[in-house]
Chain A
Amino acid sequence: MKALLLIAIAVAVFAAVPLVVHSNVVLNFLVVTLMIALAGQGWNILGGYGGQYSFGHAAFFGTGAYVTAILQVEYGVNAWIGFAAGIVAGAAVGAIIGGLAFRAGLRSSYFALVTLAFAEVLRILASVAPITGAGVGLLVKLDLRAQSFQFQSRAIFYYVILALVAVSLVIAQLLERSRFGTWLIAVRENEDAAMALGVDAFAVKLGAMVLSAAVTAAAGCFYVQYFLFIDSGIAYGTWISIEALLTPIIGGVGTVFGALVGALVVKSLGEGAKLVTGDVPGLDLMIYGAVLIVVIRFAPRGLVGAFTDARERLARRFAAPRPPVREAVRG
């Protein structure tokens, strides 16, 4: 209950921003940040709670993006339906990759490499297949109407992505309190021990992969509606795989707010550095690397984890000396 309240407060704070800030630059920054947070939260479900570190979440982001775009551009399907179909398609790709990788018993770095390989194969296929626009990419026709999932005002896009992020936060919170989530965490901690306690590790990991893929795919679907363009390098490029895993790792793996906090920190630093130095190419990646090293060295459980630890340490420091004092008074 307390955790849901925290989510509500966080979302309310974000929701108030467009009422105060009217700068399109700031709103654009926040929209992109929230989109990365959403992709990262998808990764966090599988990687953070399930301990299965994927290096290829681009496979889901890209599939969501392409399905949304192709259905509209090639088949004239309504954008909202395309959006939903993109999420379902992303989940299906998650089921296929997860089914193959987990059935083969791939763990840790082997799993990471196989997911990376799948994403790269999809990128190469998308860069040559006619239906994905091959090397040129796909442009979604400009049609600024709500029924086309396009909005004149950036603020509305902002509220759409905020709503999606809110849903992803609630999903993580429900995961922490559910049997499925408990089993998923058990698999992360020790797969053999979990199986001995009746956990179907394969089914649990596969379920997490599908859910994870669906959330990250939603970010891809949103990308297409927001930028109205997609190509193979954006959809299936390693940039999104990296940002999807970087944000929850920096923010705090296996925590509800990890991906959101991580996205805010990473994106702020990246944009801030660009403002100071001008647009030096690759600078944001260097900053990501530096932040990652610092976080892994000093806060291996991410910023949210470090915050929780610090709060507990403070609580202990203040709680500990009390009993003796009371004793003394009584004596």
Chain B
Amino acid sequence: MVESLLSVEHVSRRFGGLLAVNAASLSAPTARITALIGPNGAGKTTLFAVISGFLKPSAGRVRYGGEDVTGEPPHRLARRGIARTFQIVQPFAGLSVRDNILVGAHLRHRARAAALAVAEEVGREVGLGDMLDRPAHTLTVAGRKRLELARALATEPKLLLLDEVLAGLNPSEIRDVVPVIRAFCARGIAVIMIEHVMQAVMSLAEHVFVLAEGRIIAEGTPAQVVADSAVVEAYLGHGAAAKVRSANVH
């Protein structure tokens, strides 16, 4: 078992009467891609918000690099090396692509020249090299997703939380972004991705956690998880696993 950089221990998050995340535990090792999947409304984004400090958990602990970081504010976690992207992209719309990435680069580089150099390098790496001087609001959806990636990457994270960076992209755009994500992992970043594009999850992730109705209902390799009857039922409804199995037999 690889030493895990992040471990989430029995985290719950309640919104009034709704238990959005219910005693969920997961872990993510360095230089690996871990996927978090589950049906809509399962609590994936809520769990990300807890890990990145935007929400405090109602119960449970978040450990990062051996330290308890539960409830720390987002900016402090970012300094520790946790970066996230937003499912609904949040560009600094009035700024250029370069200046967007610069904000992230400034986290580790006080001097403007050094931060600008990092911003440019990261922009090229995610494929925004030709658009650095364009206003962020003129980017396409695919461009904005790349910008989310670039800004997060510019903070030089150790743990990267990707919230549906492939959603809304067409197949050729997905083919372009997948190697970028793989490259993050190759340089030692622990990646956790929430993703609905199963084809990407199957090819990228080494370990998959499945969240349904706030609970982790299964985990394992992608192949194990898709064969798990609890997972099939979570997506397709009660009794679906048996039907699928009998359909396969006939």
- Which positions in A face B, CB cutoff 8 Å? 177-179, 182-183, 185-186, 189-190, 192-201
Contact = CB atoms under 8 A, between A and B. Distances in A.
B224 to A, nearest CB: 32
27 contacts: A178-B112, A182-B102, A182-B103, A185-B95, A185-B99, A186-B95, A189-B93, A189-B95, A190-B92, A192-B86, A192-B90, A193-B86, A193-B91, A193-B92, A195-B75, A196-B52, A196-B90, A197-B103, A197-B104, A197-B151, A197-B152, A197-B155, A198-B75, A198-B107, A199-B103, A200-B73, A200-B75
A216 B181 CA distance: 48
Contact of B78 (A185, A189, A197): A197
| Nearest 4 A/B pairs, CB to CB | A198-B78, A189-B92, A198-B107, A193-B90
Contact of B92 (A178, A179, A186, A200): A186
B23 to A, nearest CB: 26
Contacts of A197: 78, 83, 103-104, 107, 151-152, 154-155
A200 B79 CA distance: 10
A178, A185, A193: most-surrounded residue (chain B CB, <10 A): A193
Contacts of A186: 92, 95, 103
Contacts of B104: 197-198
Nearest to A193: B90
Given A183-B103, A186-B103, A198 B79 contact: yes
Contacts of A177: 112
A197 B157 CA distance: 10
Contacts of A196: 52, 54, 74, 78, 83-84, 86, 90, 152
B94 interface: yes
A11 B52 CA distance: 47
B110 interface: yes
Contacts of B154: 197
Question: Which secondary structure characterizes the binding site on chain A?
Answer: helix
Contact of A190 (B78, B91, B110, B115): B91
B106 interface: yes
Nearest to B103: A186
B86 A195 contact: no
Contacts of B115: 179, 182
B75 A190 contact: no
A185, A189, A195, A198: most-surrounded residue (chain B CB, <10 A): A198
Given A183-B103, A196-B74, 10 more contacts: A178-B112, A182-B99, A182-B103, A192-B54, A193-B90, A198-B75, A198-B107, A198-B155, A199-B75, A200-B76
A193 B92 CA distance: 8
Interface in B67-86: 73-76, 78-79, 83-84, 86
Nearest to A192: B90
A4 to B, nearest CB: 14
A297 to B, nearest CB: 19
Given A177-B112, A182-B99, A182-B106, A195 B90 contact: no
Interface string B98-135: 01001110110010100100000000000000000000
